[in-house]
Structure formats: C-alpha cells, structure tokens
Amino acid sequence: MASKIEIKIRLRGAEHAHRLMEDEFFKRYMKDRFRERYTIGAVYDDAEGELAAVNRMLRVRKINNVDVADLKEGFADQSGFFYGEQWLCRFRGTDTVLADLEERGAPRIELVSPLIQVRTFAATRYTVTLYMPDRVRIELSFDINDNSSARMGLELLYGAGRELISYVDELRKEKQL
C-alpha cells in the first residue's frame, strides 16, 4: 500500500497543457525533460456502483504492454485534491483482480455483482519530476486525451503535504487555474 497525495486540475485543452509545459513556473524546478507515454485503459465497478459509492476506483491501464490494475481508495474534494491509498497488481482478469489486489495489501472487497467495464480512456501522458526546495519532490503530469481535453496532475513523491498544497495555491493564483 502506498499513501497518495495528489491534485488534478482540469485545463482548457491540449494547447493550454502544452503552453504550461513550457512555462518557467515549472521549468525552474526541472532537471530532466518530460517523458511521453500513450496510455489506454478502463475503469471497472459493479452494476450497482459499489466501489464508487465508497470512494474506490479500480482502473486498468496498459503500461509497457502489460495490463496493470490499480485500486484507489480515498477522496477528492472540489478543488481536485486527492488523498488516499493505492494498490497495484498485474491484471489477469476481472474474476481474479480483487483477490490479486488483496494479496498486495488492499482491503478485502466483496461485491454483490461481477465487475463490469464502466468507461474507457486513452491519453498521452507527459511526466517530469520537480525538484523543489527542502528536498520536496513532485511528479508533474499532463494528460491529453484523444478528444483534446486535458488535465494536469501534481503528486507528492517526497516531502510534506503542505508544500504541495502551497505550491498548487501559488500555481492556481499565478496561472488563474
């Protein structure tokens, strides 16, 4: 299990994302270039939406030609701030995924009905690590979906959560997000 603190911000589209990727607001903390990866995947739940009802999301993505399942448990507020837990495992199918995740430390989940695919997604993801003062590390990501919608993510990799929140507050104010 890994604790996860991240913030997702909807952007005004692909052009907006590309402009932000070149912005000095981020570049001053970058040592590397953005890594680019095309991702396809799906979100699963049962027909009653039991996972979503208790703030859980089961997502399957193809990463380097391997299907990987991740279960997120937590909450996101209206500002896009998410705090919770995340577990990952190789996805072998909907009939075994919950047991496979439980073996990795996820809570036991017993659903009334079988898992079904509730939506799919495809996006190009750009990621880079920001090396902030006081050894704080933040993963900056931009997801540009095939329909040209976009969002930005900032995930705390190392350091205090208040540092991420402070940086995002400054970002929102300066860039009017």
- Tens digits of residue pLDDT in 71-106: 999 887 776 677 788 999 999 999 999 999 999 999
Residue-wise pLDDT for 30-50, tens only, equals 999 999 999 999 999 999 999
Amino acid at 59: R
The amino acid occupying position 50 is E
Q: What is the reported pLDDT for 88?
A: 95
pLDDT at 76: 74
53-69 pLDDT per residue, tens: 999 999 999 987 899 99
Cα separations in angstroms, 22 against 5, 26, 64, 94, 175: 24, 8, 27, 40, 13
Q: Which domain holds residue 100?
A: 2-175
- Backbone φ, ψ for residue 124 (5° rounding): -95, 125
Q: Would the pLDDT of 130 be above 70?
A: yes
Between the alpha carbon of residue 99 and those of residues 39, 87, 112, the distances in Å are: 25, 12, 15
Q: Across all residues in the chain, what is the average pLDDT?
A: 92
pLDDT in tens, 146-172: 888 999 999 999 998 889 989 999 999
Number of domains in the chain: 1
Number of C-beta neighbours around residue 43 at 10 A: 15
Opening angle at CA 94, ends 1 and 67, nearest 5: 65
pLDDT on residue 2: 61
The Cα–Cα gap between 81 and 110 comes to 28
CATH of the domain at 134: 2.40.320.10
Q: Using alpha carbons, select from 63, 64, 32 the residue that is nearest to residue 129.
A: 32
pLDDT at 174 over 70: yes
| pTM given for the model | 0.84
